[in-house]
Structure 1
Amino acid sequence: MQFSTGGRLIHPIHELADILQKIVSDWLSKPNESGLDEAIDKTISEGFFEKSDVDHALNNLSLSVQRNEIIEWVFRNTDVQKSYSEIIIKNRTRKILCLHAGNLPLVGLQDMLAVLVSGVQYCGKVSRKDPYLIPSLLRYIQTQSSAFNIKFSLDIRDFRDELIEEWMFAGSEDSLESLKSTLEKNSVISTIHRSLIRIAHFSVAVIDQWDSKICADLIESIFRYGGKGCRSVAVVYSYFKLNELSKELIVESSKWIQQNGYPIRIAPAVQLRSAYNEAIGINQVQVGNALFQEGLVTIDDPGIIYWQPLINPNDVNSQFGHHLQQVYYVPVRNEIDFKFVDNLKFDTLQNAQSPPIWWQPDGIDVLKWILSK
């Protein structure tokens, strides 16, 4: 992959970071010129996502794709003795297929950026559930710089006979074998290939203290994106019983819904669970669109939140295994020492829906995975 048609073959990471930051910044700050306005309008008018979720995703993109953030991400994953130029030269003949999930606005953007930063050709199968936002950015990148090798489509058939040797996927285990078969049958991927599969689909919060800020952060971590992201909280482990905090949770959720313009839309599965819980005497509270309940944890709907007594964090991992993305905590006066718990991915509750560019889906740094070959 050549970064320009001029005399220089590559840009060092500092220059590349400048290019990416400027392109993303211009795409966001000149929405009419960049095509972003049209992408947002279609996304919202066609009912793919709520406006406040699109705004939140774009705002987090603006904060995370900064020059210093990109440089730090690369430095975290490269040998300081090894020239970044050497890495780019080595990677210019590689292709990586990114299969984007589409459950959230701009989901998969981190994979795309990691591929571009590493100098590999990006082959993106864009989800039909988010058909406007990522394509808008990709088209804008193509018009603004020759530094990146990009191919993308909504149709996997457009990658037929590519025989790509590396691919990335985030989604359900149930569809994985069928997907792999389709890719191989159409020669999209080679029979000998390397893959990065992410299947975590929810997070938990550990609450050992309480105030209005913690309450607001918890509601944001649950309600943002309709609870459909792997960083969304589905289980709360707390020193406090649900009925002790129910009034504050209801008030804060009402405030959140009003501020974010969310419709009040209680899913049929949530209504059925509420009726069942009432019939057998399970303690529960309807909090906005979500049902908070005590009792047995069976993660089955993003609108059902399980409120549990606090347990040892090691037991959280054994209970959920690879389906668990993050364990959130409140870093004020936490009485549990999180630093010495193995195999868990900790983050602060306030960062739940606003992660840095280098956050690790399924505990894997995607840039590290790309550069490790």
Structure 2
Amino acid sequence: MPDLSTEQVITSLSILGNYLSNPSAELEQLVNAAQFNNAWFTAESTQNALFSIGNSLKEEKLKKWLLTYESGLFLQKKSKKVGLILAGNLPLVGFHDIVCVLASGNKALIKLSSQDTKLIPFLLKKLTEIEPAFAGRFEFVERLTDFDAIIATGSNNSSRYFDYYFSKYPHIIRKNRNSVAVLNGSETADDFHELGKDIFWYFGLGCRNVSKLYVPQGYNFTSFFEGIESYKPIINHNKYANNFDYNLTLLLMNKVKYLENHFLMISENSSYSSPIASLHYEFYADETELKTRLATDADLIQCVVSKDGLFQGSLSFGTAQQPELWDYADGIDTMEFLLKI
């Protein structure tokens, strides 16, 4: 495989980013067709994913990201074959791992999710049109063999299999995680609208989706429900509506106290993971104690959001689903891992 300098990688990826920000008719057709293979991949969801990727692949962001690593290391290292087992819960969810493998000078052996088989091949085809040298740096496979390292993303159940099967190789194994929001009672309607992005984008199926709220003792949820009212059309999605009805029925049968607004239900629960169309909430009395609690549970949490990102270590409302290149899943620096194989 011909060597690519860091500058060539940055230029090529930034051109791809510009393309995603101004998609062609061909890509728009693919976006509209994705939902026929996976009903959760609505045109809006796929467009959000493309926007997020395009926004991250800006030249200045690529430089900030890649130039933080040891200069010249990309060219000095011997290329390795990195197996990628991609998830399919969100459109293009594994694309960041692919970018990391390509940018680090390695070759990606990509096992696509059966839920997302068209979008990633199209983007990589576009990338090779921009820079033909990338053509030999990835391969789509049905079964992973002859690899030097592995990055696998799946459920808690599949992760146990991955740990067993890939333990002798350098690896990153990702499990289920959830995200939380911390409210302090000063939030405005605009704040809650932004928080709605973190809750409702991708129908709550991603690890960066907020699935739990921490609220002050005695909190009144009226303003919260009023602030997310604009997301009501989500209930028109058939699969989401079915989940809403099913999970509401479970709450009723189990005589669990809840609040709902006809498209989202909330109930008090200590678990971070909540079913589709629902949120868990928990009261807190002391912010310092809450910080300690979240730090203790860091392995279960993908990210925390709060008003203006003022809660320690949190992101601002509305930004959870728009990670930067350096916002690595599970807090594991993928590029450092790849460069040290």
* TM-score for the superposition, normalised by structure 2: 0.87
The aligned amino acid for 1:196 is I
Percent same amino acid at aligned positions?
20
What's 2:174 paired with? Answer: 198
Q: CA offsets per residue over residues 141-187 of structure 1, 9 Å max, x none? A: 2233223233343x523x4xx42010101221211343566xx6xxx
Residue 357 (1) aligns with residue 325 (2) = yes
Cα pair 1:112 1:122 within 8 Å, conserved:
yes
Q: CA offsets per residue over residues 321-361 of structure 1, 9 Å max, x none? A: 422111222237x4x6x2xxxxxx53222311112122121
Residue 172 (1) aligns with residue 155 (2) = yes
Cα pair 2:32 2:42 within 8 Å, conserved:
no
What's 2:59 paired with? Answer: 67
Aligned length: 332
Q: Distance in 1 between matches of 2:272 and 2:11?
A: 46
Q: Distance in 2 between matches of 1:90 and 1:113?
A: 17
Q: Distance in 2 between matches of 1:290 and 1:257?
A: 9
Q: 1:151 to 1:16 in 2, by over 3 A?
A: closer
Q: 1:262 to 1:372 in 2, by over 3 A?
A: same
Residue 31 (1) aligns with residue 24 (2) = yes
Residue 2 (1) aligns with residue 2 (2) = yes
Cα pair 1:238 1:309 within 8 Å, conserved:
yes
Q: Distance in 1 between matches of 2:28 and 2:308?
A: 38
Cα pair 2:212 2:274 within 8 Å, conserved:
no
Pick the aligned partner of 2:34 from 39, 43, 62: 43
Helix, strand or coil at the partner of 1:169: strand
5 Å-filtered alignment, 1:150-229, equals 150-153=137-140, 156-157=142-143, 159=144, 162-179=145-162, 192-208=168-184, 209-229=186-206
Q: 1:253 to 1:60 in 2, by over 3 A?
A: same
Q: 1:240 to 1:43 in 2, by over 3 A?
A: farther
TM-superposed CA distance for 1:200, in Å, is 4.0
Q: 1:287 to 1:134 in 2, by over 3 A?
A: farther
* TM-score for the superposition, normalised by structure 1: 0.80
TM-superposed CA distance for 1:290, in Å, is 2.4
TM-superposed CA distance for 1:25, in Å, is 2.4
Residue 90 (1) aligns with residue 68 (2) = no
Cα pair 1:142 1:150 within 8 Å, conserved:
no
The structure that has the greater radius of gyration is 1
What's 1:245 paired with? Answer: 221
What's 2:121 paired with? Answer: 135
TM-superposed CA distance for 1:266, in Å, is 4.4
Q: Distance in 1 between matches of 2:20 and 2:131?
A: 13
Alignment root-mean-square deviation, CA: 2.7
Q: Distance in 1 between matches of 2:207 and 2:201?
A: 11
Q: 1:20 to 1:294 in 2, by over 3 A?
A: same
Structure 2: give runs of 5+ residues left out of the alignment: none
